[in-house]
Structure 1
Amino acid sequence: MTYRTLCLLTLTAAISACSTKPTGPIVPPPTDANAITKWETSGRVGIRTQDDAISGNFSWERDPKTFALDIVGPFGQGAIKLNKNAEGVVSLAYDDVVKIGSDPAALLQQELGWAFPVDQVTFWIRGLPSPTSPAQLNHDPDSNLLSTIEQDGWLITYNNFTDVNGLALPQKMQVSNPPFKVNLIINQWTIQ
Structure 2
Amino acid sequence: MTRRTLPLLAALLLSLAGCTTIQLEPLTEGMTEQPPAEWAARSNQLTRFNHWLLSGKLAVKQPSDSGTAVINRWQQRSESYELALSSSFLGMGSTELKGVPGYIELTMPNGDRYQSSEPEKLIQAATGWQLPIDNLTWWIKGLPAPDGDFRLLFDEQNKLAILKQDGWEIRYDRWQPFVDTLPELPARITALKGDKRVRVVISHWQRED
TM range (shorter): 0.7 to 0.9
Shift of the alpha carbon at 1:50?
Answer: 2.8
Distance 1:76-1:85 versus aligned 2 partners, 3 A rule: farther
Q: Secondary structure at the match of 1:167?
A: coil
Match of 1:170 in 2: 186
Distance 1:50-1:80 versus aligned 2 partners, 3 A rule: farther
Match of 2:172 in 1: 158
Match of 2:70 in 1: 57
TM-score by length of 1: 0.75
Distance (whole Å) between structure 2 residues aligned to residue 77 and residue 32 of structure 1: 41
Greater CA drift, 74-83 or 103-112: 74-83
Shift of the alpha carbon at 1:76?
Answer: 9.4
Distance 1:36-1:181 versus aligned 2 partners, 3 A rule: same
Distance (whole Å) between structure 1 residues aligned to residue 90 and residue 126 of structure 2: 20
Match of 2:140 in 1: 125
What residue ranges of structure 1 are gaps of 5+ in the alignment? 1-29
Given that residues 149 and 165 in structure 2 are in contact (C-alpha distance below 8 angstroms), is that contact kept between their aligned partners in structure 1? yes
Match of 1:191 in 2: 207
Shift of the alpha carbon at 1:75?
Answer: 7.1
Given that residues 47 and 53 in structure 1 are in contact (C-alpha distance below 8 angstroms), is that contact kept between their aligned partners in structure 2? yes
Match of 2:117 in 1: 102
Distance (whole Å) between structure 2 residues aligned to residue 46 and residue 60 of structure 1: 15
Do residues 36 (structure 1) and 52 (structure 2) align?
no
Q: Secondary structure at the match of 1:50?
A: coil
Distance 1:107-1:75 versus aligned 2 partners, 3 A rule: closer
Match of 1:3 in 2: none
Distance 1:146-1:85 versus aligned 2 partners, 3 A rule: closer
Distance (whole Å) between structure 1 residues aligned to residue 125 and residue 170 of structure 2: 23
Shift of the alpha carbon at 1:148?
Answer: 0.4
| Higher CA-based Rg | 1
Greater CA drift, 116-125 or 89-98: 89-98
The alignment yields a C-alpha RMSD, in angstroms, of 2.3
Match of 2:85 in 1: 71
Given that residues 47 and 55 in structure 1 are in contact (C-alpha distance below 8 angstroms), is that contact kept between their aligned partners in structure 2? yes
What amino acid is aligned across from residue 139 of structure 2 in structure 1? W
Distance 1:103-1:113 versus aligned 2 partners, 3 A rule: same
Question: How many pairs does the alignment contain?
Answer: 161
What residue ranges of structure 2 are gaps of 5+ in the alignment? 1-42
TM-score by length of 2: 0.70
Given that residues 103 and 119 in structure 2 are in contact (C-alpha distance below 8 angstroms), is that contact kept between their aligned partners in structure 1? no
Match of 1:114 in 2: 129
Deviations 1:155-176 (A, max 9, x none): 1000111112232110011011
